[in-house]
Amino acid sequence: MKDYGKALRQILHANGCIFVRHGSGDHDVWESPGSGRRFAVPVKIKSRHLANKILKEAGLEKSF
């Protein structure tokens, strides 16, 4: 199975999203610069659907 976590973080960073802190368990908290919304990003992401959902929460286009 493919892990989308690293690629997703690279996309978030390249689009100006900011890592805020490590969350509870195996999640990190990120913030979108455009909307100011915070969202959780799991460390390991095995589903492209989840990766695309996180991009949508960040206000970005689907990429996977």
Asked if residue 55 lies in contact with residue 61, where contact means CB atoms within 8 angstroms, the answer is yes
CA distance 6 to 3: 7
Q: What is the pLDDT of residue 59?
A: 93
Q: What is the pLDDT of residue 34?
A: 83
Query: How far, rounded to the nearest angstrom, does the alpha carbon of residue 7 sit from its chain's CA centroid?
Result: 9
pLDDT tens across the length of the chain (64 residues): 789 999 999 999 999 999 999 988 899 999 999 889 999 999 999 999 999 999 999 999 998 9
> What global pTM score does this model have?
0.89
Structural domains present in the chain: 5-57 (3.30.920)
